[in-house]
Structure 1
Amino acid sequence: MRRETQNVLLVLLGGALLKISLTGGYLRYVKPSLQPWLVVAGAVMILLAGFAIVRDIRAGHAVDQHEHGTRSPWMLLLPVFAIFLVAPPALGSDSVTRDRAASAPAAPSQAKFPPLPAGEAPVLSMSEFLTRVVWDDSGELNDRTVTLQGFVVHPTPQTTQLARMRISCCAADATPVKIDLASPRAEALPADTWIEITGRLRPGTATEANDYVPTVDPLTITPIPAPPDTYEY
Structure 2
Amino acid sequence: MISEARSVLLLLFGGALLRISLSDVYLRYVKAGVRPLLIAAGAILVVIALVTLFRELFQPRTHDHDHDEGDAHGHKHGGGVVAWLLVLPVLAIFLIGPPALGSYAAGRTGTAVAAKSQYPPLPAGNPVPVTLLDYASRAIWDQGLSLNSRHLLLTGFASPRPGGGFYLTRMVITCCAADALPIKIEMRGNVPDGLSANTWLNVVGTYVPGTDVDPLNRQPIPFVSVASAKRIAAPEEVYE
TM-score in terms of structure 1 length: 0.87
Alignment of 1:193-212 (within 5 A): 193-205=199-211, 211-212=219-220
Task: Return 142-151 or 52-61, whichever deviates more.
Answer: 52-61
| 1:82 CA drift (Å) | 2.4
Measured on the aligned residues, the alpha-carbon RMSD in Å equals 2.6
Change in CA separation of 1:67 and 1:122 when aligned onto 2, cut-off 3 Å: farther
Change in CA separation of 1:143 and 1:184 when aligned onto 2, cut-off 3 Å: closer
| 1:161 CA drift (Å) | 0.9
Task: Return 58-67 or 89-98, whichever deviates more.
Answer: 58-67
CA distance in structure 1 between the aligned counterparts of 2:63 and 2:96, rounded to whole angstroms: 34
CA distance in structure 1 between the aligned counterparts of 2:127 and 2:61, rounded to whole angstroms: 69
| 1:207 CA drift (Å) | 6.4
Return the letter of the residue paired with 2:239. Y
Match of 2:153 in 1: 147
Greater C-alpha Rg: 2
Change in CA separation of 1:63 and 1:143 when aligned onto 2, cut-off 3 Å: farther
TM-score in terms of structure 2 length: 0.84
Residue by residue over 1:136-175, the C-alpha shift from the partner in whole angstroms, topping out at 9 and shown as x without a partner, is: 2571212211000000111335121100000111111100
Change in CA separation of 1:187 and 1:132 when aligned onto 2, cut-off 3 Å: same
Of residues 167, 178, 184 in structure 1, which corresponds to 2:184? 178
CA distance in structure 1 between the aligned counterparts of 2:62 and 2:157, rounded to whole angstroms: 53
Residue by residue over 1:79-100, the C-alpha shift from the partner in whole angstroms, topping out at 9 and shown as x without a partner, is: 422221111100001111111x
Match of 1:165 in 2: 171
Match of 2:113 in 1: 104
Match of 2:50 in 1: 50
CA distance in structure 1 between the aligned counterparts of 2:3 and 2:17, rounded to whole angstroms: 21
Task: Return 180-189 or 124-133, whichever deviates more.
Answer: 180-189
Q: Does 1:224 align with 2:229?
A: no
| 1:118 CA drift (Å) | 0.7
Q: Does 1:215 align with 2:223?
A: yes
Task: Return 32-41 or 60-69, whichever deviates more.
Answer: 60-69
CA distance in structure 1 between the aligned counterparts of 2:201 and 2:224, rounded to whole angstroms: 14
Match of 1:33 in 2: 33
| 1:24 CA drift (Å) | 1.6
CA distance in structure 1 between the aligned counterparts of 2:86 and 2:155, rounded to whole angstroms: 37
Task: Return 210-219 or 1-10, whichever deviates more.
Answer: 1-10
Task: Tell me how many residue pairs correspond in the alignment.
Answer: 228
**Unpaired stretches in structure 1, ≥5 consecutive residues:** none
Q: Percent identity?
A: 39
Paired residue secondary structure (2:18): helix
Match of 1:60 in 2: 60
Contact 2:2–2:83 (Cα < 8 Å) also in 1:
no
